[in-house]
Amino acid sequence: MTSVTDTASSLDQEHHHGPAKGLMRWVLTTNHKDIGSMYLWFSFIMFLTGGAMAMIIRAELFQPGLQIVEPAFFNQMTTMHGLIMVFGAVMPAFVGLANWMIPMMIGAPDMAMPRMNNWSFWILPFAAVMLVSTLFMEGGGPNFGWTFYAPLSTDYAPPSTTFFIFAIHMLGISSIMGAINIIATILNLRAPGMTMMKMPMFVWTWLITAYLLIAVMPVLAGAVTMMLMDIHFGTSFFNAGGGGDPVLFQHIFWFFGHPEVYIMILPSFGIVSAIIPAFARKPLFGYTSMVYATASIAFLSFIVWAHHMFTVGIPLIGELFFMYATMLIAVPTGVKIFNWVTTMFRGSMTFETPMLFSTAFVVLFTIGGFSGLMLSIAPADFQYHDTYFVVAHFHYVLVPGAIFAIYAACYYWLPKWTGYMYDETLAKVHFWMSFIGMNLTFFPMHFVGLAGMPRRIPDYALQFANFNEMASIGGFMFGTTQLLFLFIVIKCIRGGAKAEAKPWEGSEGLEWSVPSPAPYHTFTTPPDVK
């Protein structure tokens, strides 16, 4: 009942105070659509910020030798780029999509806890500003990599690390509140008749993602709290000199970090499972197996963390366990890819922009999956570890995996959000430029990685120059193309061709969920088709 009242009161405020109170409408809103929009805009601002840092990295690596930035600043850029993309761009974008779509998909009036929804958003800009502000503090920002391995991040870190820790805490609090809200909404506010196994895949993937968030964010909080104690209170959790263990930090971090990778990909699976059936004009193939595969991936993500740590000297039995457990994740992931391809098979496919991004997702995410399978082989990983091959692998998973899926979702639902159709021609230019730029950036990294180029270095040997030049050109192509997306969205919001009630011709019913089974009847009396 709260949600209905809160939404009504928020709409009431908007009605009575008019444009004079326009800003306060956004500050105080409890409307899930407003909050979803704010998440999406925030994430795009952070995406451009993190992208600008990537451009500094690629500009420095355009040719061998130190030419643009100091090595210390280069390290700060690699650290902040990773943190901002993960916590500032990808996760808030998915939460924004969840806020917008989940209540509408399950027939709920709003999110279950609208005021908490408002709070969990407004924590983010302050946390982000604090994180970025560390770059302007004495000693510079965090320079120890986005994984902030201790004791490098505790005994040798700049003074700004304390503010970095506080920012991470705030980002985690926001994620946990958002996840609780999503679970409460899905479990309690579904329309009558919508059973769990009738929910759209996007709702399912977010339900599972929300449980992952609640499980792992406190682990990250524990890791950064132990860092704080080591820095300020004389403890030695991670300092071998005081009886601590640096490898303990990696265990704690990756127990958070590996499920986190799936937090950034599972909502993508839900998005693609909505879009491919719509543009293939067929129901999703194997809905039930998709639900179980998603749950299996979520479970397995908790028992594979040490594949990030094959080189730290874990026992052989540990290496074997984590190697086989990691390979096992390929099975439910393969089920999902098979189901998407089978949904497309013999469908009446058309290739509007959401479908282009979704098909690119399937192909490129699979490439990232295969390189991940290579990395799961422990003896081979001793060669690949900390090279550019790893950078290529996780960018192939996260750029086409998370970012392409977010773009697909935005193009797919923009007509529903704005009432206008976006410019299809410009959108296709955006897709192809992103597709070419992304592959030009990250594909050569496989080769320099296999040839032995280490990651996180501001300078490199001459034999890596040509591939790095290609990667930098691709990076700038990909980066500048994203400004075109900004133009397309603003142009769409300002008006254009009116969107029809069902903007994607022929996808009737498939836009939301799997069609329900036909009404039961005995063939002696007409079926009840109310």
Residues composing the chain: 530
- Of 139-143, 406-410, 516-520, the one with minimum mean pLDDT is 516-520
The reply to whether 350 and 485 lie within a common domain is: yes
Whether residue 188 sits in one domain with residue 289: no
Asked whether the predicted pLDDT for residue 7 surpasses 70, the reply is no
Q: Which residue numbers are catalytic?
A: 81, 110, 146, 174-175, 258, 260, 262, 273, 307-308, 333, 336, 455
Same domain, yes or no: 202 and 273: no
Phi, psi of 387 (to 5 degrees): -105, 175
Question: How buried is 83 (Cβ within 10 angstroms: 0-12 exposed, 13-18 middle, 19+ buried)?
Answer: buried
Distance CA 282, CA 469 (A): 43
Q: Does 7 map to a domain?
A: no
pLDDT confidence of residue 20: 52
Provide the pLDDT confidence category of residue 528 given band limits of 50, 70 and 90.
low
What pLDDT shows up at residue 504? 85
Specify whether the CB–CB gap between 237 and 229 falls below 8 A: yes
Residue 526 counted as domain residue: no
How far apart are the C-alpha atoms of 367 and 113, rounded to whole Å? 40
- Are 218 and 285 contained in the same domain? no
Is the same domain home to 384 and 300?
yes
pLDDT on residue 69: 96
For residue range 37-84, list pLDDT tens digits in order.
Answer: 999 999 999 999 999 999 999 999 999 999 999 999 999 999 999 999
Q: How far apart are CA 115 and CA 88, in angstroms?
A: 21
Q: Quick one: average pLDDT of 235-245?
A: 96
Mean pLDDT on 156-176: 97
Please list, in sequence order, all residues whose beta carbon lies within 8 angstroms of the beta carbon of residue 501, skipping any fewer than 6 positions away: none
15 within some domain? no
By residue range, what is the domain housing residue 483?
A: 265-519
The answer to whether residue 250 is domain-embedded is no
Question: DSSP letter at 500?
Answer: P
Tens of pLDDT, residue by residue over 74-94, are 999 999 999 999 999 999 999
Do 329 and 301 form a contact (C-beta atoms < 8 A)?
Answer: yes
Give the mean model confidence (pLDDT) for residues 342-361.
96
In a domain, 106, yes or no: yes
- Given a cut of 80, whether residue 13 has pLDDT beyond it is no
Residue 243 lies in a domain: no
218 and 365 part of one domain: no
Quote the CA–CA distance of 108 and 33 in Å, as a whole number.
12
Q: Are residues 215 and 324 in the same domain?
A: no
Give tens-digit pLDDT for 92-117.
999 999 999 999 999 999 999 999 99
Q: At residue 15, does pLDDT exceed 70?
A: no
Q: Give pLDDT tens digits for 192-207.
A: 999 999 999 999 999 9
The per-residue pLDDT for 243 is: 96
CA dihedral (228, 231, 236, 240) positive or negative: positive
Residue 12 has pLDDT above 70, yes or no: no
- Whether the Cβ atoms of residue 351 and residue 359 lie closer than 8 Å to each other: yes
Tell me what the pLDDT averaged over the chain comes to. Answer: 92
Q: Are residues 84 and 136 in the same domain?
A: yes
The pTM is what? 0.92
pLDDT at 507: 45
Which of 448, 352, 366, 441 is closest to 401 using CA atoms? Answer: 366
Instruction: Domain count for the chain, please give it.
Output: 2
Q: Is the pLDDT of residue 503 over 50?
A: yes
User: Residue 138 gets which letter from DSSP?
Assistant: T
| Assigned token pair, 368 | 């990232």
Asked if 273 and 176 sit in the same domain, the reply is no
Per residue in 287-326, pLDDT (tens digit) is 999 999 999 999 999 999 999 999 999 999 999 999 999 9
pLDDT digits (tens, 9 = 90+) for 421-437: 999 999 999 999 999 99
| 4-34 b/e (C-beta count within 10 Å ≥ 16 → b) | eebbeebeeebeeeeeeeeeebbebbbbbbb
Same domain, 297 and 228: no
The CATH code of the domain that includes 186 is: 1.20.210.10
Report how far apart, in Å, the C-alpha atoms of 252 and of each of 156, 240, 264, 441 are.
20, 16, 19, 32
Query: Which pLDDT score, from 0 to 100, does residue 501 have?
Result: 83
- Distance from CA of residue 285 to its chain's centroid? 25
Q: Does residue 198 share a domain with residue 106?
A: yes
Distances 500 to 83, 217, 380, 419, 497 between C-alpha atoms, Å = 40, 41, 53, 8, 9
Q: Is 133 within the bounds of a domain?
A: yes
Residue 239 within any structural domain of the chain: no
**Tokens found for residue 24:** 């306060």
Q: Indicate if the pLDDT at residue 530 is higher than 80.
A: no
Which residue, 185, 213, 233, sits at the end of a domain?
A: 233
Q: Are 132 and 150 in contact (CB under 8 A)?
A: no
pLDDT at 327: 98
Residue 407, pLDDT score: 98
Tell me, yes or no, whether 205 and 280 share the same domain: no
pLDDT at 508: 43
Residue ending a domain, choose from 215, 233, 251? 233
**Contact call for residues 421 and 496 (beta carbons, < 8 A):** yes
